[in-house]
Chain A
Amino acid sequence: MNRHDHENCEQLLGSLSEYIDGELTPELCEEIEKHLAGCDDCRVVLNTTKRTIDLVHAPIEKPDLPEDVRERLFKRLKLDDYLDQKS
Protein backbone atom coordinates (compact mmCIF):
# COMPACT_ATOMS: atom_id res chain seq x y z
CA MET A 1 0.00 0.00 0.00
CA ASN A 2 1.33 3.44 -0.90
CA ARG A 3 1.97 5.92 1.87
CA HIS A 4 -1.01 8.21 2.22
CA ASP A 5 0.70 11.57 2.09
CA HIS A 6 -1.03 13.73 -0.50
CA GLU A 7 -1.31 17.35 0.54
CA ASN A 8 -5.13 17.45 0.24
CA CYS A 9 -5.43 14.24 2.20
CA GLU A 10 -3.46 15.75 5.08
CA GLN A 11 -5.78 18.75 5.12
CA LEU A 12 -8.77 16.42 5.18
CA LEU A 13 -7.30 14.37 8.00
CA GLY A 14 -6.86 17.50 10.09
CA SER A 15 -10.61 18.18 9.81
CA LEU A 16 -11.80 14.57 9.94
CA SER A 17 -13.09 14.59 13.53
CA GLU A 18 -14.99 17.83 13.07
CA TYR A 19 -16.42 16.57 9.77
CA ILE A 20 -17.68 13.37 11.46
CA ASP A 21 -19.18 15.41 14.32
CA GLY A 22 -20.95 17.74 11.88
CA GLU A 23 -19.12 20.80 13.15
CA LEU A 24 -17.80 22.19 9.87
CA THR A 25 -19.37 24.88 7.70
CA PRO A 26 -21.33 23.69 4.62
CA GLU A 27 -18.57 25.16 2.40
CA LEU A 28 -15.85 23.10 4.10
CA CYS A 29 -18.04 19.98 4.00
CA GLU A 30 -18.54 20.45 0.28
CA GLU A 31 -14.79 20.79 -0.24
CA ILE A 32 -14.14 17.62 1.75
CA GLU A 33 -16.86 15.68 -0.09
CA LYS A 34 -15.36 16.71 -3.41
CA HIS A 35 -12.00 15.34 -2.28
CA LEU A 36 -13.58 12.14 -0.91
CA ALA A 37 -15.30 11.45 -4.23
CA GLY A 38 -11.90 11.13 -5.89
CA CYS A 39 -9.79 9.59 -3.11
CA ASP A 40 -10.36 5.93 -2.18
CA ASP A 41 -7.89 6.00 0.71
CA CYS A 42 -9.54 8.97 2.40
CA ARG A 43 -12.98 7.37 1.98
CA VAL A 44 -11.69 4.24 3.73
CA VAL A 45 -10.14 6.31 6.54
CA LEU A 46 -13.42 8.22 6.98
CA ASN A 47 -15.62 5.09 6.96
CA THR A 48 -13.42 3.13 9.33
CA THR A 49 -13.02 6.09 11.71
CA LYS A 50 -16.82 6.48 11.84
CA ARG A 51 -17.16 2.75 12.47
CA THR A 52 -14.57 2.93 15.26
CA ILE A 53 -16.62 5.63 17.02
CA ASP A 54 -19.85 3.60 16.48
CA LEU A 55 -18.24 0.61 18.18
CA VAL A 56 -17.27 2.66 21.21
CA HIS A 57 -20.88 3.86 21.47
CA ALA A 58 -22.26 0.32 21.45
CA PRO A 59 -24.17 -0.39 24.70
CA ILE A 60 -21.96 -3.38 25.45
CA GLU A 61 -19.21 -0.90 26.31
CA LYS A 62 -21.12 0.63 29.23
CA PRO A 63 -21.38 -1.76 32.16
CA ASP A 64 -23.31 -0.67 35.26
CA LEU A 65 -21.75 -0.05 38.65
CA PRO A 66 -21.14 -3.30 40.58
CA GLU A 67 -23.56 -3.54 43.53
CA ASP A 68 -20.80 -4.04 46.14
CA VAL A 69 -19.00 -0.91 44.89
CA ARG A 70 -22.27 1.05 45.24
CA GLU A 71 -22.77 -0.24 48.78
CA ARG A 72 -19.28 0.75 49.91
CA LEU A 73 -19.68 4.17 48.28
CA PHE A 74 -22.99 4.83 50.05
CA LYS A 75 -21.49 3.75 53.39
CA ARG A 76 -18.46 6.01 52.89
CA LEU A 77 -20.79 8.93 52.14
CA LYS A 78 -23.00 8.05 55.13
CA LEU A 79 -25.92 7.46 52.80
CA ASP A 80 -26.72 3.99 54.19
CA ASP A 81 -30.37 4.97 54.69
CA TYR A 82 -30.77 5.46 50.94
CA LEU A 83 -29.20 2.21 49.75
CA ASP A 84 -32.58 0.72 48.88
CA GLN A 85 -33.91 3.81 47.14
CA LYS A 86 -32.24 3.29 43.79
CA SER A 87 -33.89 5.59 41.25
Chain B
Amino acid sequence: MNKTMSLEISLEALIAGDRAEFARLVDAYSAPIYRLGLRMLGTPQDAEDVLQNTFLNVLTHLSTFEGRSSLSTWLYRIAANEALMLIRKRKPEVNLEPVDAEENAEDLLPTQFADWSALPEDELLSGEGKKILDQAIQTLPESMRIVFLLRDVEGLSIKETADALNLTETNVKTRLLRARMFLREQLSTYYGERATREE
Protein backbone atom coordinates (compact mmCIF):
# COMPACT_ATOMS: atom_id res chain seq x y z
CA MET B 1 0.00 0.00 0.00
CA ASN B 2 1.41 3.36 -0.93
CA LYS B 3 -0.94 6.05 0.18
CA THR B 4 1.50 8.89 -0.30
CA MET B 5 1.67 8.37 -4.05
CA SER B 6 -2.05 8.01 -4.67
CA LEU B 7 -3.17 10.94 -2.55
CA GLU B 8 -3.41 14.49 -3.87
CA ILE B 9 -2.99 16.96 -1.03
CA SER B 10 -4.08 20.55 -1.61
CA LEU B 11 -1.44 22.97 -0.35
CA GLU B 12 -3.89 25.86 -0.66
CA ALA B 13 -6.37 24.08 1.60
CA LEU B 14 -3.62 23.28 4.12
CA ILE B 15 -2.42 26.88 4.27
CA ALA B 16 -6.01 28.08 4.58
CA GLY B 17 -6.26 25.97 7.76
CA ASP B 18 -8.48 23.18 6.41
CA ARG B 19 -8.38 20.61 9.25
CA ALA B 20 -9.78 17.76 7.17
CA GLU B 21 -7.02 18.27 4.61
CA PHE B 22 -4.41 18.36 7.37
CA ALA B 23 -5.80 15.06 8.71
CA ARG B 24 -5.40 13.58 5.22
CA LEU B 25 -1.79 14.80 5.10
CA VAL B 26 -1.10 13.24 8.51
CA ASP B 27 -2.60 9.91 7.39
CA ALA B 28 -0.63 9.96 4.16
CA TYR B 29 2.78 10.51 5.74
CA SER B 30 2.64 9.26 9.32
CA ALA B 31 3.57 5.64 8.50
CA PRO B 32 6.82 6.49 6.59
CA ILE B 33 7.78 9.11 9.19
CA TYR B 34 7.16 6.67 12.05
CA ARG B 35 9.25 4.00 10.25
CA LEU B 36 12.05 6.52 9.76
CA GLY B 37 11.98 7.40 13.46
CA LEU B 38 11.91 3.75 14.47
CA ARG B 39 14.91 2.86 12.35
CA MET B 40 16.89 5.95 13.31
CA LEU B 41 16.22 5.85 17.06
CA GLY B 42 15.43 2.17 17.61
CA THR B 43 12.53 2.48 20.09
CA PRO B 44 8.77 2.92 19.49
CA GLN B 45 8.63 5.72 22.08
CA ASP B 46 11.32 7.78 20.33
CA ALA B 47 9.73 7.06 16.94
CA GLU B 48 6.43 8.40 18.27
CA ASP B 49 8.16 11.54 19.55
CA VAL B 50 9.70 12.09 16.10
CA LEU B 51 6.27 11.61 14.51
CA GLN B 52 4.41 13.97 16.84
CA ASN B 53 7.09 16.67 16.80
CA THR B 54 7.26 16.53 13.01
CA PHE B 55 3.56 17.29 12.56
CA LEU B 56 3.54 19.88 15.35
CA ASN B 57 6.35 21.62 13.45
CA VAL B 58 4.46 21.30 10.19
CA LEU B 59 1.45 23.01 11.80
CA THR B 60 3.63 25.84 13.10
CA HIS B 61 5.52 26.45 9.86
CA LEU B 62 2.95 25.62 7.20
CA SER B 63 2.10 29.26 6.58
CA THR B 64 5.75 30.00 5.74
CA PHE B 65 6.24 27.00 3.39
CA GLU B 66 7.42 28.55 0.13
CA GLY B 67 7.11 25.53 -2.11
CA ARG B 68 10.77 25.55 -3.18
CA SER B 69 10.77 21.80 -2.60
CA SER B 70 7.79 19.46 -2.80
CA LEU B 71 5.56 19.11 0.23
CA SER B 72 6.79 15.55 0.79
CA THR B 73 10.47 16.57 0.68
CA TRP B 74 9.70 19.36 3.16
CA LEU B 75 7.99 16.86 5.48
CA TYR B 76 10.93 14.46 5.29
CA ARG B 77 13.30 17.36 6.01
CA ILE B 78 11.41 18.22 9.20
CA ALA B 79 11.20 14.53 10.19
CA ALA B 80 14.92 13.95 9.52
CA ASN B 81 15.81 17.04 11.60
CA GLU B 82 13.61 15.83 14.45
CA ALA B 83 15.23 12.37 14.32
CA LEU B 84 18.76 13.78 14.20
CA MET B 85 18.03 16.21 17.05
CA LEU B 86 16.77 13.36 19.20
CA ILE B 87 19.87 11.26 18.34
CA ARG B 88 22.10 14.15 19.43
CA LYS B 89 20.19 14.25 22.71
CA ARG B 90 20.22 10.48 23.26
CA LYS B 91 23.73 9.76 21.96
CA PRO B 92 25.87 12.92 22.05
CA GLU B 93 28.93 10.86 21.07
CA VAL B 94 27.55 10.07 17.59
CA ASN B 95 29.21 11.93 14.71
CA LEU B 96 26.62 13.19 12.24
CA GLU B 97 28.99 15.29 10.13
CA PRO B 98 29.29 14.64 6.37
CA VAL B 99 31.51 11.74 5.37
CA ASP B 100 34.61 12.77 3.45
CA ALA B 101 34.61 10.93 0.13
CA GLU B 102 38.33 10.22 0.36
CA GLU B 103 38.36 9.26 4.00
CA ASN B 104 38.51 5.54 4.75
CA ALA B 105 38.13 4.70 1.06
CA GLU B 106 39.26 1.15 1.80
CA ASP B 107 36.00 0.66 3.74
CA LEU B 108 34.38 0.29 0.36
CA LEU B 109 36.47 -2.67 -0.72
CA PRO B 110 34.43 -5.87 -0.60
CA THR B 111 35.80 -8.87 1.27
CA GLN B 112 32.91 -11.31 0.65
CA PHE B 113 32.54 -12.87 -2.81
CA ALA B 114 30.03 -15.68 -2.33
CA ASP B 115 27.23 -15.34 -4.91
CA TRP B 116 23.99 -15.71 -2.97
CA SER B 117 21.96 -13.61 -5.41
CA ALA B 118 20.25 -16.68 -6.91
CA LEU B 119 18.91 -17.98 -3.56
CA PRO B 120 15.09 -18.20 -3.66
CA GLU B 121 13.12 -15.18 -2.44
CA ASP B 122 11.33 -17.07 0.36
CA GLU B 123 14.66 -18.16 1.78
CA LEU B 124 16.05 -14.64 1.62
CA LEU B 125 12.93 -13.23 3.28
CA SER B 126 12.59 -15.92 5.93
CA GLY B 127 12.11 -14.73 9.50
CA GLU B 128 15.79 -15.07 10.21
CA GLY B 129 16.81 -13.40 6.94
CA LYS B 130 14.62 -10.40 7.67
CA LYS B 131 16.12 -10.15 11.15
CA ILE B 132 19.64 -10.18 9.73
CA LEU B 133 18.72 -7.37 7.32
CA ASP B 134 17.08 -5.30 10.07
CA GLN B 135 20.09 -5.76 12.34
CA ALA B 136 22.46 -4.81 9.52
CA ILE B 137 20.48 -1.60 8.87
CA GLN B 138 20.58 -0.80 12.58
CA THR B 139 24.37 -1.11 12.64
CA LEU B 140 24.86 1.42 9.82
CA PRO B 141 26.36 4.65 11.17
CA GLU B 142 23.56 7.24 11.62
CA SER B 143 24.89 9.61 8.94
CA MET B 144 24.69 6.81 6.34
CA ARG B 145 21.55 5.20 7.72
CA ILE B 146 19.36 8.27 7.24
CA VAL B 147 20.46 8.61 3.60
CA PHE B 148 19.85 4.91 3.00
CA LEU B 149 16.40 5.01 4.63
CA LEU B 150 15.20 8.01 2.63
CA ARG B 151 16.62 6.83 -0.69
CA ASP B 152 16.32 3.04 -0.64
CA VAL B 153 13.54 2.38 1.86
CA GLU B 154 11.21 5.33 1.26
CA GLY B 155 12.14 5.77 -2.40
CA LEU B 156 13.13 9.45 -2.53
CA SER B 157 15.34 10.47 -5.46
CA ILE B 158 18.98 11.50 -4.92
CA LYS B 159 17.96 15.15 -5.31
CA GLU B 160 15.02 14.87 -2.89
CA THR B 161 17.24 13.09 -0.35
CA ALA B 162 19.87 15.83 -0.73
CA ASP B 163 17.19 18.54 -0.29
CA ALA B 164 15.66 16.81 2.72
CA LEU B 165 19.02 16.43 4.48
CA ASN B 166 20.60 19.68 3.29
CA LEU B 167 23.48 17.76 1.72
CA THR B 168 25.02 17.95 -1.74
CA GLU B 169 23.96 15.28 -4.23
CA THR B 170 27.59 14.07 -4.31
CA ASN B 171 27.55 13.58 -0.58
CA VAL B 172 24.26 11.66 -0.76
CA LYS B 173 25.71 9.40 -3.46
CA THR B 174 28.86 8.76 -1.41
CA ARG B 175 26.92 7.85 1.72
CA LEU B 176 24.46 5.73 -0.25
CA LEU B 177 27.23 3.73 -1.90
CA ARG B 178 28.90 3.11 1.45
CA ALA B 179 25.63 2.09 3.05
CA ARG B 180 24.78 -0.33 0.24
CA MET B 181 28.26 -1.87 0.28
CA PHE B 182 28.17 -2.21 4.05
CA LEU B 183 24.79 -4.00 3.95
CA ARG B 184 25.93 -6.22 1.09
CA GLU B 185 28.94 -7.32 3.15
CA GLN B 186 26.77 -8.09 6.16
CA LEU B 187 24.24 -10.09 4.13
CA SER B 188 27.01 -11.88 2.23
CA THR B 189 28.49 -13.12 5.49
CA TYR B 190 25.13 -14.63 6.39
CA TYR B 191 23.77 -15.85 3.04
CA GLY B 192 27.14 -16.75 1.54
CA GLU B 193 27.39 -19.83 3.73
CA ARG B 194 23.96 -21.01 2.60
CA ALA B 195 24.73 -20.44 -1.07
CA THR B 196 27.95 -22.44 -0.75
CA ARG B 197 26.08 -25.27 1.01
CA GLU B 198 23.49 -25.46 -1.79
CA GLU B 199 26.02 -25.59 -4.61
Contact B114 A55 (CB under 8 A): no
**Quick check: B31 and A56 within 8 Å, CB to CB?**
no
Inter-chain CA distance A2–B105, complex, in Å, is 19
CB A46 to nearest CB in B, in angstroms, measures 9
Indicate whether B55 reaches chain A with its CB closer than 8 angstroms. Answer: yes
Instruction: Pick from B23, B117, B133, B173: contact of A17, CB below 8 A.
Output: B173
Instruction: Decide: B110 and A45 in contact? CB cutoff 8 A.
Output: yes
Whether A62 and B35, one on each chain, are in contact in the complex, defined by CB atoms closer than 8 angstroms, is yes
- Given A16-B177, A73-B30: A53 and B133 interface contact (C-beta under 8 Å): no
Q: Does B187 contact A (CB under 8 A)?
A: yes
Chain B residues, CB < 8 A from A77 = 22, 26, 52, 55-56, 59
Given the complex, which residues of B lie within 8 Å of A3, measured CB to CB? 109, 111
Q: Which residues of chain B come closer than 8 Å to A13, judged between CB atoms?
A: 108-110, 177, 181
Q: Give Cα A82–Cα B125 distance, bound, in whole angstroms.
A: 37
User: Does A37 have its Cβ within 8 Å of any Cβ on chain B?
Assistant: no
Q: Does B183 contact A (CB under 8 A)?
A: yes
Q: Which residues of A contact B56 (CB under 8 A)?
A: 76-77
Say whether A56 contacts B152, CB under 8 Å: yes
Q: Is the CB of A41 within 8 A of B113?
A: yes
Quick check: A65 and B30 within 8 Å, CB to CB? yes
B5 at the interface (CB under 8 A from A): no
Which size class do A's interface residues fall under? 35 or more
Query: How far, in Å, is A48 (CB) from chain B's closest CB?
Result: 5
Bound form: Cα–Cα A69–B158 in Å: 30
Most chain B beta-carbon contacts within 10 A, residue among A48, A49, A69? A48
Cross-chain contact A4 with B35 (CB below 8 angstroms): no
- Does A86 sit within 8 A of B, measured CB to CB? yes
CA A72 to CA B34, docked complex, whole Å: 13
- Given contacts A13-B110, A77-B59, A87-B3, A65 and B152 within 8 Å (CB-CB): no
B184 interface hit (Cβ, 8 Å): yes
Asked if residues B152 and A53 are in contact (CB atoms below 8 Å), the reply is yes
Contacts of A43 in B (CB 8 A): 115
Within A54-87, which residues are at the interface with B (CB < 8 Å)?
Answer: 55-58, 60-66, 69-70, 72-74, 76-77, 79, 81-82, 85-87
Residues A82 and B19 in contact, CB atoms below 8 Å apart: yes
User: With a CB–CB cut-off of 8 A, which chain A residues contact B184?
Assistant: 45, 48-49, 52
Residue A14 is within 8 A (CB to CB) of chain B in the complex: yes
19 pairs from A and B in contact (CB 8 Å cutoff): A3-B109, A3-B111, A10-B108, A13-B110, A20-B180, A41-B113, A44-B113, A47-B115, A47-B117, A48-B184, A49-B184, A52-B180, A52-B183, A56-B153, A57-B153, A60-B125, A73-B48, A73-B51, A82-B19
